[in-house]
């Protein structure tokens, strides 16, 4: 207890302490989480994220209009995901809760709750760990340390039809906009659904062609203009235990992959690190010690190979059917393992699997905008043309893919890939509709 003795020095000590704390806090945002910007695609329309109808605050969501509640819940979901990874580049997310989106079916016995994914994939950027895969934009930005394209990084279209009683969606089910992960018997957790779609957009996506299109048969990858066809970095981890030599799908021929895409239960996640780290956590849904990937006999073009198998227990947020048992209040589970495997630096304290409460985490910071500020971009290493500022991408018609402006450092062929990568769905598990 020698405070008395040092009393005259304390102001200086405090000053130094404050300066150190300021530096640490200043570094916190850029180093320990990924900040974000959400572009409200419903702005000015009076619907979706801007719906002015009155709403009653619910479970930590104080919004007093439907639009405000949706924005609060969406932002909270974005914080859950972005707080678990590090990036010096804020993640840009285009979002809507459109009640008229034709891509988002809503029927009495089943619904597409949302569609989400990366807006684009790229390779050859400075800092790219590999040149035999393509990376979703948000991850490419994180690895490059600066923005590689002046566009949105993720797209998120949530189904606004659920809140229109006349639609009789899912027998009258409504979105639950609370932040406590406790939807009522006829409610669907909006936050959990958004988290699912966001994780797709962070890279939890295979881009193997599952329904023949133009010049690419099933099992192929979309072609780059130089003729190369590359898997996504996620796709590189998918392994076929049913084939001779148990190769990764990316090492198979196109026709072998076409055989493999519906070969459950032999399609698995190959990362030895993840399979070892989760051996005590996962009680079901393994094959030869590896986590099973969704590869049902009947191919589901928007879901096959881009989810865990529904056989995985405990239920996971990245299974193709939403489960009331997979609350994001228990963390993002095995998804943190995949994010790490594909190259995301995890925030300090985030482990594989992630079982922390939703509200952990680095103070990922960000809010809604109606347009992104123009930013200089990191060009592809082999790109000769100067990147131009892209005009605002107004293609918000719903699952419509990417809009590539002339001069963007991307190849138009990726447009094909973007359309496919956005076709990722989540259905309500029918057996739980009861
Ligand atoms: Zn999905």
- pLDDT tens digits, residue range 403-413? 333 333 444 34
How far apart CA 154 and CA 309 sit, in angstroms, is 24
Is 240 a domain residue? no
8 A C-beta contact, residue 239 and residue 247: yes
Other CB atoms within a 10 A radius of the CB of residue 425 amount to 26
Rounded to two decimals, the pTM is 0.83
How much is the average pLDDT of 119-132? 90
Cis peptide leading into residue 41 (ω within 30°): no
Is 175 a domain residue? yes
Query: Residue 381: pLDDT band by 50, 70, 90 thresholds?
Result: very low
Is 108 a domain residue? yes
For residue 27, the CA-to-ligand 1 centroid distance in Å is 33
For residue 303, the CA-to-ligand 1 centroid distance in Å is 6
For residue 425, the CA-to-ligand 1 centroid distance in Å is 5
What does the pLDDT look like over 66-100, one tens digit per residue?
999 999 999 999 999 999 999 999 999 999 998 98
Query: Residue 376: pLDDT band by 50, 70, 90 thresholds?
Result: low
User: How many domains does the structure of the chain reveal?
Assistant: 1
- pLDDT of 226 over the 80 cut: no
With vertex at residue 52, the alpha carbon angle to CA 50 and CA 54, rounded to the nearest 5 degrees, is 135
For residue 113, the CA-to-ligand 1 centroid distance in Å is 10
The pLDDT value given to residue 358: 66
How much is the average pLDDT of 203-217? 86
> For tokens 């490419």, what's the residue?
140
Is 247 a domain residue? no
The pLDDT value given to residue 407: 36
Is 295 a domain residue? no
For residue 306, the CA-to-ligand 1 centroid distance in Å is 7
What order of strands is seen across the sheet that includes strand 154-158? 114-118, 154-158, 87-96, 34-40, 366-369
What share of the chain has pLDDT > 70, as a percent?
76
For residue 296, the CA-to-ligand 1 centroid distance in Å is 14
- pLDDT of 261 over the 90 cut: yes
Looking at per-residue confidence, does 261 or 214 come out higher? 261
For residue 141, the CA-to-ligand 1 centroid distance in Å is 23
The three-state secondary structure class of 148 is coil
- Lowest mean pLDDT segment, chosen from 15-19, 125-129, 236-240, 286-290: 15-19
Is 101 a domain residue? yes
**Residue 158 φ then ψ, to 5°:** -95, 150
Query: Residue 110: pLDDT band by 50, 70, 90 thresholds?
Result: confident
Is 193 a domain residue? yes
With vertex at residue 222, the alpha carbon angle to CA 218 and CA 225, rounded to the nearest 5 degrees, is 145
Query: Residue 310: pLDDT band by 50, 70, 90 thresholds?
Result: very high
CA nearest neighbour of 118 among 152, 70, 69: 152
Is 269 a domain residue? no
CA nearest neighbour of 281 among 360, 352, 206, 209: 352
Query: Residue 388: pLDDT band by 50, 70, 90 thresholds?
Result: very low
How far does Cα 304 stand from its chain's mean position?
16
For residue 308, the CA-to-ligand 1 centroid distance in Å is 9
Element counts in the chain: helices (H) and strands (E): 9, 15
With vertex at residue 327, the alpha carbon angle to CA 203 and CA 234, rounded to the nearest 5 degrees, is 15
The pLDDT value given to residue 120: 86
- Lowest mean pLDDT segment, chosen from 53-62, 231-240, 280-289, 411-420: 411-420
8 A C-beta contact, residue 334 and residue 318: yes
Domain of 187 in residue numbering reads as: 35-226+302-383+391-432
């Amino acid at each position: 207890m020698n405070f008395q003795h040092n009393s005259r020095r304390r102001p200086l000590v405090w000053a130094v302490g404050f300066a150190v704390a300021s530096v640490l806090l200043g570094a916190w945002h850029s180093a320990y989480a990924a900040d974000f910007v959400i572009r409200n695609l419903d702005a000015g329309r009076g619907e979706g994220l801007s719906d002015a109808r009155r709403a009653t605050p619910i479970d930590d969501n104080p919004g007093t209009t439907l639009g405000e509640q949706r924005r609060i819940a969406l932002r909270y979901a974005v914080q859950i995901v972005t707080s678990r990874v590090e990036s010096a580049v804020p993640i840009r997310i285009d979002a809507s809760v459109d009640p008229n989106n034709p891509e988002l079916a809503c029927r009495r016995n089943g619904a597409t709750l949302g569609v989400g994914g990366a807006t684009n994939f790229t390779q050859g950027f400075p800092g790219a760990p590999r040149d035999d895969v393509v990376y979703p934009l948000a991850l490419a930005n994180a690895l490059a340390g600066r923005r590689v394209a002046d566009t949105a990084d993720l797209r998120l279209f949530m189904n606004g039809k659920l809140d229109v009683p006349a639609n009789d969606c899912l027998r009258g089910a409504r979105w639950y906009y609370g932040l406590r992960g406790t939807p009522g018997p006829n409610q669907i957790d909006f936050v959990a659904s958004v988290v699912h779609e966001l994780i797709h957009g962070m890279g939890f996506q295979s881009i193997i062609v599952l329904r023949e299109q133009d010049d690419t048969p099933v099992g192929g990858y979309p072609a780059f203009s130089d003729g190369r066809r590359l898997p996504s970095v996620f796709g590189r981890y998918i392994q076929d235990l049913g084939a001779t030599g148990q190769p990764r799908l990316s090492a198979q021929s196109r026709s072998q992959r076409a055989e493999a895409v519906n070969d459950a239960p032999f399609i698995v996640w190959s990362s030895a690190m993840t399979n070892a780290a989760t051996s005590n956590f996962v009680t079901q849904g393994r094959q030869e010690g590896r986590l099973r990937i969704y590869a049902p006999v009947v191919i589901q073009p928007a879901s096959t190979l881009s989810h865990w198998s529904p056989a995985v227990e405990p239920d996971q947020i990245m299974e193709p059917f939403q489960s009331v048992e997979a609350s994001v209040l228990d963390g993002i589970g095995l998804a943190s393992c995949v994010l790490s495997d594909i190259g995301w630096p995890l925030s300090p304290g985030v482990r594989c699997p992630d079982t922390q409460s939703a509200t952990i985490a680095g103070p990922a910071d960000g809010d809604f905008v109606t347009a992104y500020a123009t930013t200089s971009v990191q060009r592809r290493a082999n790109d000769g043309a100067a990147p131009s500022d892209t005009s605002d991408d107004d293609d918000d018609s719903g699952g419509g893919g990417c809009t590539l402006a002339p001069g963007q450092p991307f190849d138009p062929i990726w447009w094909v890939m973007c359309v496919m990568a956005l076709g990722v769905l989540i259905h309500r598990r029918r057996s739980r509709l009861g």
